[in-house]
A and B are shown apart, each in its own frame.
Chain A
């Protein structure tokens, strides 16, 4: 604070320029950006179109820019008042931040780069910048989890790698940052564990000035291998003078409420038990089968029965009580509460043309939709730059984040509460009783799934509230990200910049399993430190060679050092003292996993851009990397790119076409691998009986690795008509990744189930379309539409000789694979046997028949995705609505699979099926003989009972039965905001009040009972749904203003 005041007090003698800005019709224009050319120092015009700006001297050039208007420049000279009439037009000098933070004119780009303003994600107030991207950018697929602080999976233009990373690189203010999630394999395939969220969530959405999405590798050639899947480049806000010059204060405050809204449709006719028989009766009350985790039990007919909580003699209030055997239609809904998230941020900024600083602080406080779960996050950011002289300038920015969570919800099949609710539950259970009675007087657990009236021990399922209150996880991440750079301008043409970039965090995760539940009591501590540091030195050159040719170029070098330490320790064999969560409380020896990884990459790079007049631009890049992860002979690898942009509208004057360009780009990107893949080491397992225990491991490593290669090509056009009223952006791309480095599956009979080598070839081709329009543009009313659409085709072309598939994971017989000839992420499993005309075959007992061979059931990659955003602006009122969609993509649902098996879902009790049985649709298989008659090919007439039907005709037996289309159309986002005129004599400006909602409704979907948007991690294993946390709807209020 003192520092900021100091900065604002050193403002030198200046000239104050003021004025009023209007459009051609004479209306005043508020919100025009006004700044000193070449600096960040500036202001915006107020509601009356007026502005005041302090400038250093008469030579200062002031820039005026406003969307949809032609940017104007004025030299101050002797004018104290500069009034301006802005003309509608196309901003041809619109700049976009590209790789290495280089700002380029958009028209000069030979590749697709989409820029989003910080408001785009800020406005969605998700506390998660990635979720805010959903549906807004063509070719960007974002899938988000609903777990508190959960993950988002981002894919740009599909998946190119087989077993490696397919996520884009995130760069904040030039600092490449780590997004490794460290999730367990079980967590990824939805079989339990916690979703610790993507580390990228550490970024504060309120601090974002803009995001540029560089989708193909072309755009990212200068970031090197890590950006092979594209890059998301984030620029945070910088300092600038406030509404009244001097120190500006920005305040943003919001509260939002989350409620669950996609819950499975349960049946409410039958209660718990394996059959309609009661286990017993006592004093005229029925005793149900407590230890069965399903709802095939007696019909709800108001019978008197002894509930699970009526057997504990120490609970005098409930002991011996009876209850009425009836449905609890809302028992699952009642489990959830309304989540509340408050976000408060304020920022101080100030500066002039020589120095500016911005300090920001954000506090996020969230309470989840499941009881006893909280997330707290504090961000402190500072961004300061100083121009020491005309030649020397410095910039420092840093961000410290502390994120503390407790009681994150369990995810996946198994331990998630949804897993018992949908997959293994008794429909009569009353949530209030479970909540009140989860613990008995002596501290032991009381659960509905007790063994028997006399035996209170648990069979399969803990009381869900015991799970929430006793098995509480905790985690904390402390992260520091920063950059310091020093630039020296040697002369008009040449400059040099040195930068040190730092990203380091520690992450501590504690997981607890209390004594007394179904699982063995345990405590684990996972400690990780991650650091990724980059140092670079860049020489840049700009020269207007003659009036037609402009040349810019850079030459630079970079060193990257990345280190990870992991200490994963857990108790074994239970805990000695209940309730003490300390590793020393382990009954058995402590299990420790101690891992250190380091890698270093040195790079040299160069790029040159030649502009001819203002319509032809050619951009060439070259980079050479030296990576410590590759063997000495292959350590050095080179990769180039070439792109061109041709602005043909500069040559021909078409009335309708206000801007037109075609662009084309080609690039190759080399890629290294993870550390330690060149030599096998013996790996320790747990010692046994005083002997060490070691193994050679299942993967054969390889001293003859080569770098991976990704070649891509894209061509596109950017057209704007009727003075920007209609905007069209089209891209076609084709990308082939080959010589991929991964553990290729091989016959285990070789002694190793995988061999790490160069293999495989994956092709992605696709188109992206972005359409923008302003159908209505009146004095007080404006309607903007943005539509984006992307279609990607992915095919695994080859793996390695003799190998057809690599299994990414498998569960209950369904495998997720990279399979030659199929799309990446293909599910394989048994299907229905069918006849030539597609009728399902039925055996003599009336059951469907599963194929002997496993068949491809679909891929988790969608056919196409997109979104439609509408913005209506009426005077100071603005309404934004976003609908997004996905067509295709496939998922395997364990909620459906086991929910049918256990009789909790609606269809297991529909249409009297439990009383009358069912005749499934299909024809008898060839050779089926019933009552000595060959009925092959005839329509099935065999009636089977409902329970057998749902045991044998669902996805556990015929995997295809629970494979679903993941298509959806969602009403994703809506926001109504109102901008107030400046208050208190212009002291308070930019006042905006907003009401917003996210995930408002699923308009259509094909997967029953669940939200087809399925993810619990940011990794390659996707599309398995088990115990999905219900989708959440968010409604929030937001206020922001500047002082």
Chain B
């Protein structure tokens, strides 16, 4: 009797347990997400996140626009003296690689491995091409910020748990090759769904790809003029941006969470103002863009830039009402973010002429760059007469200025004025063209020896990928703010 009870209890228990593990796979399948996806959703997310992470108060507000000295800090000004916070470097490195680049890599993988399942979201070739163009844009920004970066072994998951860093030269070669693949494989099929930049218009993507190719070419002009010339010519003959209508923009919407990140930030914080470097330059040229870039100081009604790079104590004693705040245009909820614009292409072309890469008139390209910038910022409010008046000023007119200054100064200064808000790109072009406008921070530098030549690698790489990042650091000549990048030769 007792034995029977024991045995039957055990049998019941065993039966209960074996029956109950049958549904375990089902229980453990995640109902909060899907294992299948429209690649268009990934593209939308990648495009938005790429812009959010490049345009927001942290990457652009505290870094890009301050490294280019467009803005000055009225709080926590140590950042403007180049004490750049390590945790921000860490999180944006992750945003770029694990956020944007991984989603783009996934679109390519899905189209390559499962072409039939994914051709409903645009032709496989076009989806892959757009992803590669987006990747090139971001990876070039990154290598221009850090130097050597993981590229060949990047975004390959467990295959390369400790990705090696490629030399910057290798990254540039790789990016040019990747862009060529993209340009050459664009087909007549549908553009990708979910595309927030060009709405799936592949002809515009081709122009963006060639404009990026021009950007890659011109960046290496000082270290490999022959290659730069060849690549630039290929890009130009294939067709770069032809007007502001071609600009690669991310058009933010009116309301959170789809509003411009700087607009979102301004709702609760006001840590930046227009810098004296920017305001003084605009005032000196009587540049009409001043009203689109900044506001007059509330107390005086005049434009007064906040001194760039104040100590914390001095910044704290500068009153908001005494200085020019950032403009409504910049802080609007639907202010677009700029991946790349027509104006910057025109300045590259002017430079290409001066370097003898392409034929044409540097003066025309230069003037067209200024015109494009003014039309873009004023949304057409500045008439051609206004613009022509400005172009005719002796301090602006190309022929007049070039007579007394080298082309890098002339083109560099106007490009700097046109690249407002594209802080990282502007800082990069300042490092490359070495024109004089930027000044050492008024409060002195807290790290490095002057305006940084690059950013430090993320500390998390030293914790998680120590051998690779250490190798890269020694290869570039030290993980320092002062270490010049490969293309920063002159």
Contact = CB atoms under 8 A, between A and B. Distances in A.
Contact of B94 (A596, A597, A675, A698): A698
Interface in B354-388: none
Nearest to A949: B313
Interface string B24-66: 1101111111111110111011101100000000000000000
A444 to B, nearest CB: 17
B284 interface: no
A559 B17 CA distance: 8
B20 A947 contact: no
A221 to B, nearest CB: 19
A274 B31 contact: no
Nearest to A280: B299
A277 B318 CA distance: 12
Contact of B196 (A277, A557, A689): A689
A294 interface: yes
Nearest to A682: B37
Interface in B246-294: 253, 255-259, 267-268, 270
A978 B46 CA distance: 70
Given A626-B24, A675-B28, A694-B37, A518 B312 contact: no
Contacts of B25: 632
Interface stretch (B101-109, B217-225, B230-238, B398-406): B101-109
Contact of A751 (B12, B83, B154, B194): B154
B155 A749 contact: yes
A959 to B, nearest CB: 11
A804 B312 CA distance: 34
Nearest to A276: B317
B198 interface: no
A373 B421 CA distance: 46
A291 interface: yes
A577 interface: no
Contacts of A802: 161-162, 464-467
| A: contact size bracket | 35 or more
A257 B281 CA distance: 64
A813 interface: yes
A748 B94 contact: yes
Interface residues of B, number: 95
Given A691-B196, A957-B83, A678 B459 contact: no
B13 interface: yes
Interface stretch (A57-65, A489-497, A858-866): A489-497
A581 interface: no
A750 B5 contact: no
B440 interface: no
B87 interface: yes
A752 interface: yes
A686 B83 contact: no
Given A494-B2, A681-B30, A750-B155, A815 B87 contact: yes
B97 interface: yes
A956 B78 CA distance: 10
A689 B319 CA distance: 39
B5 A496 contact: yes
B17 A626 contact: yes
Contacts of B20: 559, 600, 602, 626
B412 interface: no
A681 B98 contact: no
B103 A600 contact: no
Contacts of B31: 596
A597 B105 CA distance: 29
Contacts of A274: 316-317, 319
Nearest to B10: A555
Contacts of B40: 691-692
A681 B30 CA distance: 7
A537 B12 contact: yes
Given A494-B2, A748-B98, A810-B87, A632 B24 contact: yes
B255 A751 contact: no
A676 B194 CA distance: 28
Given A688-B196, A693-B45, A682 B28 contact: no
Interface stretch (A39-47, A587-595, A1029-1037): A587-595
B446 to A, nearest CB: 8
Given A452-B321, A747-B468, A520 B267 contact: yes
B160 interface: yes
Contacts of A591: 257
Contact of A676 (B16, B30, B46, B149): B30
B150 A628 contact: no
A138 to B, nearest CB: 35
A696 B103 contact: yes
Contacts of B268: 518-520
A520 to B, nearest CB: 5
B32 A804 contact: no
B103 A595 contact: no
A281 interface: no
B465 A696 contact: no
A751 B98 contact: yes
B41 A595 contact: no
A755 interface: yes
A496 B4 CA distance: 13
A201 interface: no
B28 A628 contact: yes
B138 to A, nearest CB: 13
Residue of A555, A603, A747, A804 ringed by the most chain B CB atoms within 10 A:
A747
B93 interface: yes
A573 B48 contact: no
A574 to B, nearest CB: 8
Interface string A478-499: 0000000000001100101000
Contacts of B78: 956-957
Contacts of A683: 32-33
A604 B13 contact: yes
Contact of B316 (A292, A539, A635): A292
A588 B256 contact: yes
A466 interface: no
A753 B466 contact: no
Nearest to A535: B16
Residue of B2, B256, B320, B461 ringed by the most chain A CB atoms within 10 A:
B256
Residue of B6, B33, B78, B317 ringed by the most chain A CB atoms within 10 A:
B33
Residue of B36, B41, B463 ringed by the most chain A CB atoms within 10 A:
B463
A291 B105 contact: no
Given A494-B5, A802-B464, A691 B193 contact: yes
Contact of A291 (B38, B253, B320, B444): B320
B461 A747 contact: yes
Interface in B71-99: 78, 83, 85-87, 90, 93-94, 96-99
B156 interface: yes
A289 interface: yes
A749 B17 CA distance: 43
Nearest to A493: B2
A835 interface: no
B124 to A, nearest CB: 19
A746 interface: yes
Contacts of A588: 255-257
A944 B14 CA distance: 78
A539 B6 contact: yes
Given A682-B33, A750-B156, A807-B460, A626 B28 contact: no
A491 B25 CA distance: 41
Nearest to A292: B316
Residue of A518, A573, A750, A945 ringed by the most chain B CB atoms within 10 A:
A750
B316 A294 contact: yes
A700 B33 CA distance: 14
5 contacts: A519-B268, A632-B24, A678-B28, A696-B102, A746-B464
Given A539-B6, A600-B23, A751-B102, 11 more contacts: A602-B17, A603-B17, A676-B28, A694-B45, A696-B42, A746-B161, A749-B93, A751-B156, A803-B463, A811-B87, A951-B313
Q: Which 7 A-B pairs have the closest CB atoms?
A: A681-B33, A747-B465, A749-B150, A676-B30, A557-B13, A951-B312, A588-B255
